[in-house]
Amino acid sequence: MRCPYCFSEDVAVVDSRYVEATNSIRRRRMCNACKRRFTTYETIVKMGITVIKHDNTREPFNKDKIIVGMEKACEKRPVSHEQIEAIADKIERKIIASGVAEVKSSRIGEMVIRELLKIDPVAYIRFASVYNNFNSPSEFRKIAMLVQKGRRDRTLPG
C-alpha cells in the first residue's frame, strides 16, 4: 500500500471495521512518512464462474437468471420473493464452494428443480416442464404422478 499523498510505502493500519452494507472492510491508515491519514476499502472479488449452455456456448454466471426462471414457475403460487432469492443464493454458494470455474446449465437446472420440489410441487412441475422441454400431456401426467407418489411416500423425486 502506498500513501496517496507522498507515495511512501511506509503505511500503518490504524483501525479496521467491517462494513455490512457493502460487505467490505474499511481500514483507516496513516502514512509514517508524511503523517497524513486516509481510508481504504477491501472487498472480496468473486471468482468468475462460466455457465456452459446446452449448445456449448458460454456466458458468465448470473444469479438473476435463476431468480427470473423461478419467479415464472412460482407465479400465483404461495412462494415469496424472499424464498426465491434464498434458493438462488444457496445455489450460488454451492457453485462457488465447489471451486469450479465452469458449470453446466443443466447442473444449475437440476439444483433449481430439487429446491422447488421442496417448497411447492406445482412450481416444481412448471419449472421441470420448461427445463425438460415437455412435448405432450402424458409427460405432465407422469411427473405429476411422481410428485403425488413422493408426497404419499415422503420420498420426493429429484
Q: What is the tens place of the pLDDT at every residue in 80-124?
A: 999 999 999 999 999 988 888 999 999 999 999 999 989 998 998
Same domain, 58 and 133: yes
Flag whether 4 is in a domain. Answer: no
- Please tell me the pTM assigned to this model: 0.63
**Short-list 87, 49, 132, CA closest to 79:** 87
Same domain, 89 and 138: yes
Residue 46 has pLDDT above 80, yes or no: no
CA angle, corner 47, sides to 51 and 98, nearest 5? 70
Same domain, 111 and 143: yes
Percentage of the residues of the chain whose pLDDT score is greater than 70: 92
Domain, as residue range, for 107: 50-153
